[in-house]
Every structure is written in C-alpha cells, then in structure tokens.
Structure 1
Amino acid sequence: MEYQEFLCAVEGQLNKKLKEGVKAKVYTAQKNNGREKKGILFETKELSASPAIYLEGLFYRFQKGEQLGGLVQEILDFYGSIEGKEPWGYHQLQEYDVIKDRVVFRLIHTEKNKRMLEHIPSVEILDLSMVFYILLQLDEEGTATVQISNAHLKMWGINREQLYPAAIKNASVLLPAEFFTMHYAIEEMLEEAAGEEGDSVKRRDEKENLLSQIGEQPEDTMYVLTNFIRYCGAACVFYPHILDMIGEMLKEDYFVLPSSIHEVIVVPESKGLDAEEMCKMVKEINETQVAPEEVLSDHAYFYRRKERQLMFQKPGL
C-alpha cells in the first residue's frame, strides 16, 4: 500500500467508527522551508481547532508490519482523550484582546519560505524572517499553536507593527531563554535517548541555565541558546538583551551558528575557526544532521559586542 492509499484507508476507517457529528479529514500542513506533512483533523461543531495527528510515523509502522486496525484505534484513543475538553474555538480566535498575551514568534529562512511569507505577517532580519503564532497551550500534555496569517490581522483590525512588541514581550515570558554549555546539551540528549527525559514543557535544572547565574560560570568551547521547551528556540537570538548578556559572560565577540530552528550554537571568537570554515560547518550540519523542515540558515553569524550587532559572517570577511 502506497502512502496516499494509506491516508485514504485511515480516513475511511476512522469515519466508520466515529460517532455521528464527528468527521475525520486528511489535512495537508504547510511546514517550514516549503515542506508538507499529512495529518488527520477531527471536525465537529464544537471542536473547530482540533490538533492534527501526523501520519508519517504511523505509515512507517504499518510498513514494518503493524496492522492498520491497531493504528486507527490509536488515533481514536487520542481523539477520545481530547473529546469533551474545553476547546479553543474559532470564536475565541476572532478577538485580538483574547489572544494578545499568547502571541509569540519564531524564525524561518526568508528565501526558502517566500510562498508562505506572502500570506503571513513577518519582520525580515538578515536572511531570516520573524513570523508570529499564537501559543494556545503549554502544559504537561504538550503545546498547541496557530500560525498568524494576514487574514487574522484583517479580522482583528490590527497591523504587523502591533504584533511585534507583543510577541517580543510574550516570548520572553512564556518561552524564556536558556543558555548552557555544549557539555550539558550532550548530557541532556543522551538522557533523552535513554528514555529518561521528563515532560517536554517542564523546566530543566535551573542551575545549568547560565542566564540565571551570577559570578563565575563554567567554560566550554561551544554553548547552546534555546528556550526551555526546546521548540523554535532559535528565536531567543532576538529576545531583548540576550546577545548582550552572552557577550558579557564570554567577555569577547562570538559566532552564532544556526544549528536548526530550535536552537543556535554560540562559539567564542577565540575558540572558533575562520569565517569560511564556520560557514562550511553550518552547511554540513544542515545537510547531514538536520531534518529539511528544521533547517534555519546555511550562514554563520557574528556578534560584535562594541556595536551590539548581529551580522552576517560570510566567507572571506
């Protein structure tokens, strides 16, 4: 069975088993860098903001021999777990005053997302674009978000310039930045690989977050900047004063390597390679270690403390 046939089969079986008034529908989500993902949405009169259940992983399991009926039952079980909970309905999203404290932002690559950027408000910085979304849910059960489009702005009667300060303020509070050594980042990844991670939205050990420390701090050749849920954390680069604070800690200028949309790597200038090699490193990581939809940029950046400016670090400069 090919993937498209699998999608149709899942949709068909779900609709045979769902109660009257609920309909399952295959949904195509436009993701970062022009990528698409297929998922299932549930449509009811009450639930107009249903979470999407993406099906690539289930199709992989089906190819490995799992029965279609069992996979469909998993989806039904998930729907049963959310059914009856107070949903975020369309009527709530119509009022800007209701959601304005939940507006945050993430970073995407401008050129790779030109088509998407035609339909959503954005602020261009270097080769990146800051885009805005609503953080509907952030708890032990996970996150739920809605991308803000130009249609939302028209409905709310506001402009992009009103979104920007709200997103900057909210992101710093709802998704606070964390800055830690690469040594700690590797330890954390090993723990997750071993199945020892906690809930994704719970804060890690605060003592490892160098932004919260005073006095002498551990040194490393590389550091990681992200947010506490490790989701779209590269946006922390443009949180107020964050780059200045890192410069004060390192006491020198530094490279900023966009390792994915979820985090950036910081390398003190004294411990980095030359500019061309740093750019090559970013490109190689993107090509071999990062999923295509999670690539942020192939450029290395450089932060100069004196000018308080993040700039391109292009080969030959």
Structure 2
Amino acid sequence: MTYQEFICAIETKMNQKLEGGVKAAQYTAIKNNGKVKKGLLIETPGVNISPTIYLEEFYQRFTDGESMEGLVQEILDFYRIVKCDQSMDANGINHYDAVQDKIVFKLIHTEKNQELLKGVPHFRLLDLSIVFYVLLDVNSRGTATMTVNNDHLQYWDVTAEDLFALARSNVKRLLPAELFTMQQAVDEILCSVPGKKKNLLQESAPEGADFMYVLSNPVRSFGAACIVYPEVLDMAGQVLGEDYYVLPSSVHEVVLVPVSKSMEPGEMDAMVMEINQTQVAEEEILSDHAYLYQRDARSLVMQHSFHL
C-alpha cells in the first residue's frame, strides 16, 4: 500500500467513526524548507480551528506490521486530546492592537525557503532569514501560531522594521532564552520520552562534557532564534569564557561549543550534516554548517568564512 492509499484508507475509516458532523479530509501543507506533508484535517461544524494530523509516522508503523484498526483508534484518541471546542476570534487576529504583544520571530534557511520568503516580511542573517509569526497560544500540547505575511503589513499599516523592533521585545517576555548544559538537555529528553535515544550530536559529546551548551526557549519551539535576541550571544560568551562555535542542531535549538574544546571546523560541518541527514526531520533542519561567534568583535560569522 502506498502512502497515498494509506491516507485514503485512514480518511474513510475515520469518517466512519467520527460523530456529530465532524469530518476528516485530506490536507497538504508546505512546511519549512519546502517540505510537503500530507495528512488529515479534521473539521468540526461551527468551529473555525481544525487540527491537522500528519500520518507519516503512522504509515511507517503500518508498514512495520501494526494493524490499521489500531492506528485509526490511536489517531482518534489523539484527535480528542488536541481538538478545539470553541472558535477563535478571527476578527481579533486581523487587528494590530490585538496581536502586537504576541508577534515574535523564528529563523529559517534562506535558500531552502525562497518561495515562502517572497510573501513574508523578513531580514537576512548570514545564510538564514528572520521571519515573523503571531504566537496565539502555548500549552502542554504545543503552540498555535500564525505566520505574518506581506498582506498583514499593509492591513496593519506597519513596516518590517516595526515588526522586528516589536518582536525583539516580545521574545524576551514570551519565549525567553535558556542556556543549559548538554547533559541537562539529554536528561530532559530521556525523562520526557522514556526510551528515546540521544541524537548524534548528543552522542558525540564526551562523557561529562558540560562545556557544551544548548540554547533554546522554554517551550523548545523555534528556539534557534535565540541567537538573534539582544545580548544573548554576548552573555553566552561570558559563560563560556571564549569564542565559540554555534552548531544548528535544528530550528528549535543550537549547541554552543568553546573553540578550545571543539573539533576541526570541517569535522564539525560533517557532524552537523550527518545529524541533519539521519536524525532531524527535513522541515526542522536549519543549516548544514557551523557558525563562529567572535566575542571581541561581537560578531557571528559563517564557519567557512574563517580559518583557525
């Protein structure tokens, strides 16, 4: 059974079980880095917020031998957890006064998102781009967001510069930067998801390698953007006490490694690329190489632009 056939089968079985006019329909989304993902959009009559459940993981489990009925029941159970029973005030979202305190930013790779960048306000940072979104909600199930596009700027009568200044203030309140050791990050992952293995970046750290730090935000969502926060890279340099490499583990976090404790630049680039190819979902990849933060110059540069 192909993935498309699997989606059709799940759609049919879900609609046989859903009640109260709730309907499941196929949905295709273009995610970060141009990744196309297909899943099911589950709509409730009278509610304007509909969860989308992507099915790649369920398809893999089906090909590994799990039953279709068991997977359908699991998807139903998950839907009941994440569904919204009330509509969101769409009019409020369209008014700048209602959203300006929730506008934040994230980092994406410029070359891999050229089509997206044509329609959204953004700023370049090396080979990356800063883009904006409205953080509508944060809870135990994740985050609800809305991408800010060029039409919003016209409707709100603001500039991209206005957004950037506002977002740099908002992120400190809504998504403050957190710096913690690699061992703390590993412990957090293993405690939150029993049986979960470390990724290659974590496995590459020597035992007790507390000189490696992870930079992210409390919700671990688009936390790589912390490298843009005012003074954060400078303060991290004070903690590490020297120049350091910034390794893009994903769009959600970066890893900081002091120059004196690092591998050769080419070896770090190779490690980052291997992580991206084997451990990180395509839509969560930030970049394929390391960066260097130079403390005296207070400057972040691309790895291939310097030599030790």
TM-score, normalised on structure 2?
0.85
Q: Which amino acid in structure 2 is aligned with residue 136 of structure 1?
A: L
Aligned pair partner of 1:272 in 262, 265, 269: 262
Answer yes or no: is the 8 Å Cα contact 1:47–1:89 preserved in 2.
no
- Residue 165 of structure 1 corresponds to 165
- Residue 285 of structure 1 corresponds to 275
Q: Does 1:220 align with 2:210?
A: yes
What is the CA distance between 1:316 and its match in structure 2?
Answer: 5.7
Of stretches 45-54 and 166-175 in structure 1, the one that deviates more from structure 2 is 45-54
- Residue 33 of structure 1 corresponds to 33
The verdict on how the C-alpha distance between 1:251 and 1:150 changes in structure 2, with shifts beyond 3 A counting, is: same
What is the CA distance between 1:248 and its match in structure 2?
Answer: 1.4
Q: Map of 1:178-189 to 2, 5 A cutoff?
A: 178-189=178-189
Answer yes or no: is the 8 Å Cα contact 1:105–1:130 preserved in 2.
yes
Of stretches 285-294 and 68-77 in structure 1, the one that deviates more from structure 2 is 68-77
CA–CA distance in structure 2, aligned partners of residues 292 and 28 of structure 1? 16
Aligned pair partner of 2:243 in 250, 253, 271: 253
Answer yes or no: is the 8 Å Cα contact 2:183–2:209 preserved in 1.
no
The verdict on how the C-alpha distance between 1:237 and 1:85 changes in structure 2, with shifts beyond 3 A counting, is: same
Q: Does 1:242 align with 2:232?
A: yes
CA–CA distance in structure 1, aligned partners of residues 194 and 45 of structure 2? 42
Q: Can you list the C-alpha shifts for 1:24-53, whole angstroms capped at 9, x where unaligned?
A: 221111111111111222335532232211
Answer yes or no: is the 8 Å Cα contact 2:211–2:257 preserved in 1.
yes
The verdict on how the C-alpha distance between 1:90 and 1:78 changes in structure 2, with shifts beyond 3 A counting, is: farther
Q: Which amino acid in structure 1 is aligned with residue 108 of structure 2?
A: I
Answer yes or no: is the 8 Å Cα contact 2:50–2:83 preserved in 1.
no
| Equivalences, count | 296
Q: Can you list the C-alpha shifts for 1:259-287, whole angstroms capped at 9, x where unaligned?
A: 21111111112212343333333223323
Answer yes or no: is the 8 Å Cα contact 1:275–1:315 preserved in 2.
no
Q: Does 1:307 align with 2:302?
A: no
Of stretches 283-292 and 260-269 in structure 1, the one that deviates more from structure 2 is 283-292
Partner SS, residue 314 of structure 1 = helix
What is the CA distance between 1:235 and its match in structure 2?
Answer: 0.7
What is the CA distance between 1:110 and its match in structure 2?
Answer: 0.3
Q: Can you list the C-alpha shifts for 1:198-254, whole angstroms capped at 9, x where unaligned?
A: xxxxxxxxxxxxxxxxxxxx9833111111122211111111111111111222111
CA–CA distance in structure 2, aligned partners of residues 75 and 190 of structure 1? 24
The verdict on how the C-alpha distance between 1:156 and 1:70 changes in structure 2, with shifts beyond 3 A counting, is: farther
Q: Which runs of 5+ in 2 are unaligned?
A: 197-207
The verdict on how the C-alpha distance between 1:285 and 1:58 changes in structure 2, with shifts beyond 3 A counting, is: closer
Counting aligned pairs with the same residue, the percent is 51
Q: Does 1:262 align with 2:233?
A: no
- Residue 14 of structure 1 corresponds to 14
- Let me know the Cα RMSD of the aligned residues: 2.6
Q: Which amino acid in structure 1 is aligned with residue 227 of structure 2?
A: V
CA–CA distance in structure 2, aligned partners of residues 84 and 289 of structure 1? 32
CA–CA distance in structure 2, aligned partners of residues 20 and 135 of structure 1? 30
- Residue 297 of structure 1 corresponds to 287
Q: Which amino acid in structure 1 is aligned with residue 118 of structure 2?
A: E
Answer yes or no: is the 8 Å Cα contact 2:104–2:168 preserved in 1.
yes
- Residue 104 of structure 1 corresponds to 104
Partner SS, residue 135 of structure 1 = strand
Q: Which amino acid in structure 1 is aligned with residue 56 of structure 2?
A: E
Q: Does 1:61 align with 2:68?
A: no
Q: Which amino acid in structure 1 is aligned with residue 163 of structure 2?
A: L
